[in-house]
Structure 1
């Protein structure tokens, strides 16, 4: 039974062959743990392992094997020699900005007459723009070099050619069926090319062009690898093949960078350059660079990356950081509104979402769409209304299994603007076509058989015990990095004996922190961002929890601890809340649950306490439902078997126990031989004892616990030692011999003591385990 279901499908890797592990560990002189990690990534030979763990410059591919490289470089060199004005035409995202900065520095190093232009997202749009090209030509541009764009710039490139201005395209984006008529197209996946790796980002291609222009090795251009690492990480290209080496070397360059703008930007972001990794770039540096282009003119970001003036660098870094703060606030505000729309009744039943609002900033709508998809697992368009123009403009994000581009492509002629691919798109639509857009997406959701309930998959590398989350394990995992697309961080499954110290974190209490405890009582911190709402289920069953996550280091005040960054949580079993009490108050019956009583008389007495919608079950009288969502067991059963029968006969989602018992048989215990003798002597010498009204007086006289005395008199009555009529007790002269231990009341007393000992006085974990076992006996 699942109390808290995992958000993802956990795809567990097939365990590596231990003979293969031992051989690789021995031959590569690494630990078996690292060998298993390498084998899980199909790095099975010593050569593959060494090339991955310690890449070299020699592993990088020859830039001159890229199609049109020689032609494009010759044209640029001729422009430099002839003093032609060269304009680098870039892009407003982090990959485009770093591409522009790298190409600008390269051409400046050659002594070129060079400037750069970053198109404005809102006025120029993405890629070559006819009006922008013409303005630049009017201002003196004689050669365009595009970076991180250009393969879809047919109109602008044709317009430049008509004015006798050449365009050298350097790009990495998807190639259209017909390429533009540029002077040269340098692209790692050019259909006529044979470059061995097609996964370079825009800045990766720019770096290759720089190598060829300067006739330099990658080692000689290592100072530029900081820009390469930032652009590649930001653009989410596959960190395999030469990208793995480029980013690994680039992070090393960043750790020692002398670039004033990068130093200032890291300081503003609170990043320690000496410990830089891909996460610092992906979540600290890249978003700040992206924020500038999302909100307006991105040209200052290129100046930040290329300036040699420390004062100017600090000023620009401050501006960039402020822009990022504005971007974060916009995303937060718009996301709140968008998620409210997504959860509206009319949208809950829809497989695809079209969400819009007036005045939403267009530059952040892609981020907002991603957040809605993450929350709802539905393909989503997020659009901003522009009543003055009668249009809506925005971005879409999709889920695996739903082709967003294919869904909208049939109506592209009805859209003002449209472009994208299976997982993302950008578009502008007239207000009058909004219904068509929405219905088209809904119909596509049905035709593509979209399953919004299908969970995304996370690959789990291996299972670890809490005591295996150590510094050495963390350091060995880091050797596989830098991590990113096609080289994700290893995800491990942990099945602790229990979790302790469960608490929420954050101002909104939307994060969770707890300790993973194993059989050796090793405790390891676990941080689960976004799982604050799961605290009830985690706390309800801390012994039946599985988590998956990545290993992380946390440094604070000079001390480093190692922890698990939780990606997902699953809690087995039933939510069991143990609330043992001998005082039944009205608040205990405030919620509309199902209240179960073993004593029907007690149920009648507590009827006024029950809230509206509450249900009552009297064991042995009322029929027990097959499924009960919220069951409260009010009183203690006369025997454990009675409770076991109840729990085996119904399926329970949430179980609360009060186990009320007014007079504890366990605490008073079984009578002693002396107490039996004292009562026996009393009944032989006293007649007409009013036990109906004077029982407490009798208990005080005999110095026997009242609860115990009542049981003893019941036992004597069953054995034929006394008779009771109308509440008056008299002894029987010459009673027949009888063994008290054979009486029904005697065994009932033992069962009651056993039940109370288990249900009222055992430790919580042991009782929960017993209750879960009893529920698992259900047929």
Structure 2
């Protein structure tokens, strides 16, 4: 049973004979060759190029449409001392694109400056206001980088003012191209460029290649950062660019980068696509997310030690601020999400939310709650809300927003991500419209997570030499994912929660004489559901853990599967959105009052049952999980449940709005006190004021009500003329003969097991049914 509710997709595990032959010829492992061939590299030559540390796959830049025309115009501008403006973008790709071209033109002696738009003032892409400002300063040639392919109005305006515009971009091409002097795009409809997935920085790099007449090796370290950060395909020429760039970054002489790496504690030799993607890229992006991205260009181009230090300090400050803002907004957004617990799509809007980080926040909400999420910041005037959307499963955001377009001021995007603006007065209508769309297409929200497995290994195969051989597959990224391996027939030797908040999981996995350390971030709670010496299967990526000159194999876990029952401790008296978001789950609800509330709010793939209904359910195999929503009320039924339950993954919430343990079961002394009072008072009215007697006798009202119910059940007390009287015909009887008292005692026992016991005790009881 998988912890992550995922399907593991293992490709054909057999190594072909032809792979063995190539492996022998190249002196490499057959498994490494097989991995290459699965990725589309079939011949010996293709595999050599793919694995080579010295990339040679570079395309002729002049195969791009309009490249020759653009080069001639730029050379003319340099020769005649024209003023040139580079217009970039505010993200990491835009910053690096600008730096690549700026450094190239400066080397060529051009009169050049650059402008990066401010997302909060200028918005995205070229605009007439900025162009007009620079034309007044004498600019006669504008070159856009990482933008401009859809900037028809501003490009045509500049061209009409006798200022030529060269557009270089890589984004989606609109049906009609802008009427620029030249349009350089790797997927230009009239071009012949063999690789269409360059980043903005990659296109700028190819322009530099053409301008300089040779491969601009020294610029690869800049362009590679934009390429990695923009998540383009790391195949073909991008792979060459990133390989070359990473080699340079590990020995960079750029003082800005050197200071940044020192601040990030990145040493030469340790810089790879992961450190760029998760550490360097976010620092660059933070500038444009919170304000002005312009200083980011100086990180690459400055020779001034003081300027370099100032830029790095600013980047670190802005990134720290960005992280805190994201954390704060995420926390507030999750609180708002609680009010939309029954919604299929979350629309979360609030004032004072920073527009620049809302895409990150939406991604975090999706990750936690597994629902398409729209996060909007209401602007200071209260009239407009702007923000970002992120999706999951098959839910197409662009289609959904198109359905709601009458409620929107503006939107754009694709399947998984979108940006939008909506007038605040239209927010209720928008929320209703997108919820209607989601309910009309429930199949779009049903998606089983599939994890592709590269190969099944035994623990004995996992060693430093094998992991070192995998390094040739790097850099990993889009269309060249890091291989995930499955390891079976192993035991959990040790388990540990690590991290400041005990949020991470560390395991020691054993098999005969072999041992492997395994880590998983942000899944510390899984330790509670893993038994020591449990037999497990695991999947994950392999890396080397280097510590004090020791190099040991380490598995970065993606998922764990166990043969025994998986039980998760969600016990609480405060229901959170994730408690109702388990997919394909049987929600076991015993209290009738709770059933409609749960049914309305759970995922469409899940269903509510009483325990007895679940025991009789003929299609238990349709459900992946069981959720004990409230505390069971019958030990006999729970015993029967374990005999007839197909599903092995269980979540224990045991929500109990009114606990027997908290209320307490009346003592014999309290029964006697009520009985004696009724014996000496024959006219106690039975109405809404009867509870005053509980106060007089100093008995909690809930217990007093139980006492009266037991007396009625055992016929100790009757109602006569609206008053409580002792029954003269009653006979002596043990209070525990009462069905109610037996039920309360049983519920109390079950509460002790399900709510108040140690989780290990509860797990043992559920799996073994020990008395």
TM over 0.5: same fold? yes
* 1:477 corresponds to 2:470: yes
Q: Is the 8 A contact 1:16 1:40 kept in 2?
A: no
Match of 1:552 in 2: 543
Describe the SS at the equivalent of 2:106: helix
The aligned residue for residue 66 of structure 2 is 68
**Relative to structure 1, is the Cα distance of residues 69 and 277 closer, same or farther in structure 2, using a 3 angstrom cutoff?**
same
> Is the 2:390–2:416 Cα contact (8 Å) retained in structure 1?
yes
1:21 paired with 2:14, answer no
After TM superposition, give the deviation of residue 538 of structure 1 in Å. 1.5
Cα deviation for residue 120 of structure 1 reads: 0.2
CA distance in 2, matches of 1:653, 1:143: 64
**Could you tell me which residue of structure 2 aligns to residue 392 of structure 1?**
385
Partner of 1:682: none
- Does residue 1:536 correspond to 2:518, yes or no? no
- Residues 164-563 of structure 1 mapped to structure 2, 5 A cutoff: 164-216=162-214, 218=215, 221-342=216-337, 344=338, 346-412=339-405, 414-520=407-513, 522-539=514-531, 542-563=533-554
Distance 1:529 1:651, change over 3 A: closer
Q: Are 2:520 and 2:558, in contact at CA under 8 Å, matched by a contact in 1?
A: yes
Per the alignment, residue 132 of structure 1 pairs with 130
Moved more, 406-415 or 267-276: 406-415
Counterpart of 2:560 in structure 1 is 569
Kindly tell me: are residues 572 and 83 of structure 1, through their superposed partners in 2, closer, same or farther at Cα, counting changes over 3 Å? Answer: same
Distance 1:454 1:626, change over 3 A: farther
Deviation at 1:410, TM superposition (A): 4.4
8 Å CA contact 2:382, 2:424 repeated in 1: no
Q: 1:493 and 1:418 mapped to 2: Cα distance? A: 42
State whether residues 334 and 360 of structure 1, in contact with CA within 8 Å, keep that contact through their aligned partners in structure 2.
yes
CA distance in 1 between partners of 2:544 and 2:333 (Å): 35
Between the aligned partners of 2:567 and 2:535, the Cα distance in structure 1 is: 12
**Residue 389 (structure 1) shift:** 4.2
Kindly tell me: are residues 7 and 310 of structure 1, through their superposed partners in 2, closer, same or farther at Cα, counting changes over 3 Å? farther
Alpha-carbon distance, 1:223 to partner? 0.7
Deviation by residue 1:170-195 (Cα, 9 ceiling, x = unmatched): 00000111111111100000111111
RMSD: 2.8
The separation in 2 between residues aligned to 1:398 and 1:131, in whole angstroms, is: 35
* CA spacing shift, 1:339–1:20, aligned 2, 3 Å: farther
Q: Which of 594, 619, 627 lines up with 2:641 in the alignment?
A: 627
Question: How far apart are 1:485 and its partner, in Å?
Answer: 0.3
Mark the CA change 1:243 to 1:613 in structure 2 (over 3 Å): closer, same or farther: closer
Q: 2 CA distance for matches of 1:450 and 1:351? A: 12
Cα distance between partner residues in 1 of 2:341 and 2:651 = 30
1:114 aligned to which of 108, 112, 115: 112
Separation (CA, whole Å) in 1 of partners of 2:225 and 2:511: 39
- SS of the residue 2:330 aligns to: helix
Q: Decide whether aligned partners of structure 1 residues 123 and 473 sit closer, same or farther in structure 2, where only a CA change above 3 A counts.
A: same
Q: TM-score, normalised on structure 1?
A: 0.73
Asked if structure 2 preserves the Cα contact closer than 8 Å seen for 1:626 and 1:651, the reply is no
Q: Is the 8 A contact 2:49 2:55 kept in 1?
A: no
Change (3 A) 1:440 1:413: closer
Unaligned 5+ segments in structure 1 are 578-591, 593-611, 629-646, 657-767
Q: CA offset at residue 400 of structure 1? A: 4.2
Cα drift, residue 615 of structure 1: 5.6
After superposition, give the CA deviation of every residue in 1:284-342 in whole Å (9 maximum; x if it has no partner).
11110000110100101111111012232122111111111111111111112222333
State the number of aligned residues. 601
Structure-2 change in CA distance of 1:514 and 1:61 (3 Å): same
CA contact (8 A) 2:53 2:472 kept: no
In structure 2, do the counterparts of structure 1 residues 97 and 650 end up closer, same or farther at CA, with 3 Å as the change threshold? closer
- 2:473 match: secondary structure: coil
Residues 17 and 111 of structure 1: is their aligned pair in 2 closer, same or farther, counting only changes over 3 Å? same
Query: Whole-Å Cα distance in 2 between the matches of residues 63 and 464 of structure 1?
Result: 43
Secondary structure of 1:168's partner? Answer: strand
Q: Give the secondary-structure state (helix, strand or coil) at the position aligned to 1:52.
A: helix
List alignment gaps of at least 5 residues for structure 2: 569-589, 591-629, 653-762
Q: Quickly say closer, same or farther: Cα 1:55–1:527, change in 2 above 3 A.
A: closer
Q: 1:414 to 1:135 in 2, by over 3 A?
A: farther
Q: Name the CA distance, whole Å, in 1 between partners of 2:296 and 2:105.
A: 18
* Matched position secondary structure for 2:340: helix
| SS of aligned partner of 2:50 | helix
Q: Is residue 537–residue 571 contact of structure 1 (8 Å, CA) maintained in 2?
A: no
Indicate if the aligned counterparts of 2:222 and 2:245 stay in contact, CA closer than 8 A: yes
Q: Deviations over 1:455-512 (max 9, x none)?
A: 3322110112233222112111111110000000000112242112211122222211
21 and 626 in structure 1: CA distance in 2 versus 1, 3 angstrom threshold: farther
How far did residue 649 of structure 1 move?
9.4
Secondary structure of the corresponding residue to residue 445 of structure 2: coil
Q: 1:73 to 1:339 in 2, by over 3 A?
A: same
Partner of 1:60, secondary structure, is coil
**Aligned equivalents of 2:234, 2:632: Cα separation in 1:** 58
Structure 1 residue 164, shift from structure 2 partner? 1.4
Q: Deviation string for 1:114-143 (max 9, x for gaps)? A: 000000011111111121211222222211
Structure 2 vs 1, CA of residues 210 and 506 (structure 1 numbering), >3 Å: closer, same or farther?
A: same
1:95, 1:623 → 2: CA distance?
Answer: 61
Which protein has the larger Cα radius of gyration, Structure 1 or Structure 2? 1
Q: Secondary structure at the match of 2:437?
A: helix
CA distance in 1 between partners of 2:647 and 2:169 (Å)? 60
CA distance in 2, matches of 1:482, 1:98: 19
SS in 2 for 1:164: coil
SS of corresponding position for 1:274:
coil
Match in the other structure for 1:9: 7
Distance verdict in 2 for CA 1:387–1:35, change over 3 Å: same
Instruction: Report what 1:737 is aligned to.
Output: none
1:521-670 equivalence runs, <5 A:
522-539=514-531, 542-574=533-565, 626-628=640-642
Contact 1:383 1:392 in 2 (8 A): yes
With the length of structure 2 as denominator, give the TM-score of the two structures.
0.74
Cα distance, 1:388 vs structure 2 = 1.2
8 Å Cα contact 1:627-1:650 kept in structure 2: no
Q: 1:91 to 1:542 in 2, by over 3 A?
A: farther
Superposed displacement of residue 233, structure 1: 0.3
